[in-house]
Structure 1
């Protein structure tokens, strides 16, 4: 009976050691990639915006949270949803699907806010239709400006740093009428 108990206790310990070894190997791979400068494309955040899938650089994205209550700001673009208090920080919220295509919206039951990384210098969060989690672009096939994963889904890389430099993105106020 003691041998059976010992064997039953050893199996979970062996499984934990295997998971720990796997985690350490992944961590080592990430550290080596970061030191060689290739870490930016090791993993990216996969999101749906409207009906399209996009890849965001992890270094450009911040927190991911469910959409909180918004304070509407009058006389702003239809894609500017208002202001949200996210963990004590006031952030402008952009419906990225509507920004890209005025006839669509990212709102829905799976919608999330993805805040921009502080290094981008703008207190803003993007409403995305759904967060798909981490993706490995290196394991995908290139097809022009898009990537295709093993399941056949097309992904478009989206630079949040380029987005925050876009004049249209920076001007949320409606143009005054003349």
Structure 2
């Protein structure tokens, strides 16, 4: 019994010693919630599309021009056996893409009724923004962009406008790309 008592006392002393010499837990850092999207540039501005609205990103593939379509419809490309209409987003807004041709990329918009490739100046990949930097409206929006921009985030002093591809997919001008309409 004395041996058991001695062993128990040794464990109690070890526990006290451990508590006295233990270092405190690391300071708890407040983790800020973030919103993530696909960053891209268009017409010299930074945009970000919600993650669920971009199904894929590609280099601009070779394509075949189509007759009787709006000038912003570049043509159609075969991407893994599917015909992908390619749309120049700079021309859609009445301007020219400002990025170098080698940096231009295609964002694939795929909904139940629509499969389109949007050519933009450059794609930056996934971007993460602290949610507390969100503003419901981006500053100095171009009139054509107002229905497509749902707000903005700030990151490292730059404003990133949230570009809704879902709103674009519902835009009558975008959906009806035939010439003369």
Which of 86, 92, 96 pairs up with 2:85? 92
Which of 164, 173, 179 pairs up with 1:159? 164
Structure 2 portions without partners, runs of 5+: 1-30, 139-151
**Cα shift readout 1:41-75 (whole Å, capped 9, x = no counterpart):** 73100011121111101111111111111110012
Cα distance, 1:143–1:121 mapped onto 2, change above 3 Å: same
Residue number in structure 1 paired with 2:15: none
Which whole-Å CA distance do the structure 2 matches of 1:83 and 1:106 have between them?
A: 22
Instruction: Find the residue that maps to 2:96 and give its secondary structure.
Output: coil
Instruction: Find the residue that maps to 2:173 and give its secondary structure.
Output: helix
Which of 51, 55, 63 pairs up with 1:62? 55
Aligned-residue Cα RMSD (Å) equals: 2.3
Structure 1 portions without partners, runs of 5+: 1-28, 34-40
> Which protein has the bigger helix share?
1
Which structure would you say has the larger Rg? 2
2:162 corresponds to 1:136:
no
How big is the shift at 1:139? 4.8
